[in-house]
C-alpha cells in the first residue's frame, strides 16, 4: 500500500514539475539556440541564449534595437501582386485551429519555426530604405551594431518606403545580405513575438547581455 502511495506521489510531483516548467517557459523565459547567420556578427550559429518572455506576457511593446524571436510567417517572400503598400504585413495562414494542436504548437513549440531579428521600425513609424541606409520618420537610423561594410538594400524594392501599421513592428537581421526578414515578408504582428533576447550563456567567454 505504501509503495502504491509513494508511486502516486512521485507521479503527482513529476506532473506538477512539468506544469510549472511549461508555465515558466511560456510566460517568463526559456533557452534557445541560434541556428543561422542572419544576426552575424552580433549572434553566431550554435550560441545559446535566454529569451525574456515576460514582455509578451504583459503585452509590452519592444523597443527599437531589441533582438526578438517571432513565429515565422507562412509566406516567406511576398510577390509584387501580394504586396500592399497600405498594409505591408506578413501572412500567417497556417496557424492551428483546435485546442490540442494550438497547445502542441504554441506551448510545446513542436514543428514551430521561429526567426531571430532586430526591431527597427515601431508602430506608426515611416520607414525608408535608400542609399544603403535606414531612415525612420526622415532621420537616418544610426546602427552601431552593423559591420562597417554592411549596407541595407532591398533588391525587390517592395518594402523600401512604407508606414509600419499599428500593432506591428518591422525587423531585420544584422547580417543584411544573408537575412530573410521583414523586407521580404512584411511587418510582424505584435502577438507573434515570442520573446526578447536577454542573455547569452554559451559560449561562456561571451556570457552576458546583448546589445
The beta-strand segments (E) located in the chain are: 29-33, 48-52, 67-71, 114-121, 126-130, 133-136, 139-140, 161-163, 168-172, 188-189, 193-202, 208-209
What gap in Å lies between CA 128 and CA 16, rounded to an integer?
A: 50
165 half-sphere exposure, CB direction, 13 A CA radius: 16
Comparing C-alpha atoms, which of 124, 187, 186, 128 is closest to residue 153? 128
Any catalytic annotation for residue 37? no
Is residue 105 within 8 A of residue 183, CB to CB? The reply is no
The backbone torsions φ and ψ at residue 203, rounded to the nearest 5 degrees and listed phi first, read: -70, 155
Number of H helices, E strands in the chain: 4, 12
Any catalytic annotation for residue 192? no
Comparing C-alpha atoms, which of 97, 165, 176 is closest to residue 129? 176
35, 38, 91, 144: which one is catalytic? 38
117, 142, 156, 179: which one is catalytic? 117
Catalytic residue numbers, as ranges: 38, 117
Amino acid at each position: 500500500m505504501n509503495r502504491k502511495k509513494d508511486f502516486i506521489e512521485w507521479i503527482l510531483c513529476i506532473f506538477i514539475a512539468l506544469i510549472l516548467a511549461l508555465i515558466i517557459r511560456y510566460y517568463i523565459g526559456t533557452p534557445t539556440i541560434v541556428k543561422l547567420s542572419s544576426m552575424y556578427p552580433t549572434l553566431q550559429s550554435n550560441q545559446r541564449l535566454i529569451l525574456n518572455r515576460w514582455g509578451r506576457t504583459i503585452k509590452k511593446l519592444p523597443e527599437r534595437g531589441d533582438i526578438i524571436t517571432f513565429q515565422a510567417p507562412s509566406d516567406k517572400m511576398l510577390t509584387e501582386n501580394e504586396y500592399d503598400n497600405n498594409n505591408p504585413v506578413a501572412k500567417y495562414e497556417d496557424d492551428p485551429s483546435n485546442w490540442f494542436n494550438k497547445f502542441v504548437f504554441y506551448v510545446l513549440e513542436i514543428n514551430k519555426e521561429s526567426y531571430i531579428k532586430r526591431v527597427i521600425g515601431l508602430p506608426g513609424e515611416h520607414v525608408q530604405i535608400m542609399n544603403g541606409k535606414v531612415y525612420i520618420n526622415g532621420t537616418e537610423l544610426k546602427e552601431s551594431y552593423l559591420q562597417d561594410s554592411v549596407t541595407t538594400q532591398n533588391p525587390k524594392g517592395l518594402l523600401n518606403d512604407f508606414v509600419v501599421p499599428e500593432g506591428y513592428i518591422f525587423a531585420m537581421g544584422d547580417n543584411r545580405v544573408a537575412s530573410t526578414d521583414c523586407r521580404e515578408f512584411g511587418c510582424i504582428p505584435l502577438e507573434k513575438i515570442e520573446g526578447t533576447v536577454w542573455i547569452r550563456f554559451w559560449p561562456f567567454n561571451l556570457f552576458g547581455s546583448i546589445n
